[in-house]
Amino acid sequence: MKTRITFAALAAFLMASPAFAQPAAAPTTGPAAGRAIAFNRSLGNCLACHTMKGGDVPSNVGPMLNDMKLRFPDRKVLFQILWDEEKRNPQTVMPAFGKNLILDRRQIEAIIDFLYTL
């Protein structure tokens, strides 16, 4: 009598093997997540306008992002700038990341976590 291995059993066996293990999910909060969002050209894309440590493209459209915790000790102020800088400065060219649904609150908080390391 031959033993048959069903496709479902084979698939279950293969999926349990280390070769098919799912990669660890990227962090969604904290400085590492914020850096990933800030440097991602389809998300924050901060490097398009700002020069900052770790960036590979110097820019002079917006101010250099350094000493951020010293410059913005009130985290709420920095959050509002990222959410909707047009409210504070109607002449800005900075996108209203939150108001325009480019980034959500969690993503903006993660960017601030990262900026506070600069």
Q: Are 51 and 62 in contact (CB under 8 A)?
A: no
Eight-state DSSP code of residue 117: T
- The CATH number covering residue 51 comes to 1.10.760.10
Q: How many CB atoms lie within 10 A of CB 115?
A: 25
Let me know if residue 8 belongs to a domain: no
What is the structure's pLDDT at 4?
A: 54
Residues of the chain where predicted confidence (pLDDT) is lower than 50: 1, 7-25
Let me know if residue 9 belongs to a domain: no
Let me know if residue 2 belongs to a domain: no
What is the structure's pLDDT at 60?
A: 80
What is the structure's pLDDT at 115?
A: 96
What is the structure's pLDDT at 58?
A: 79
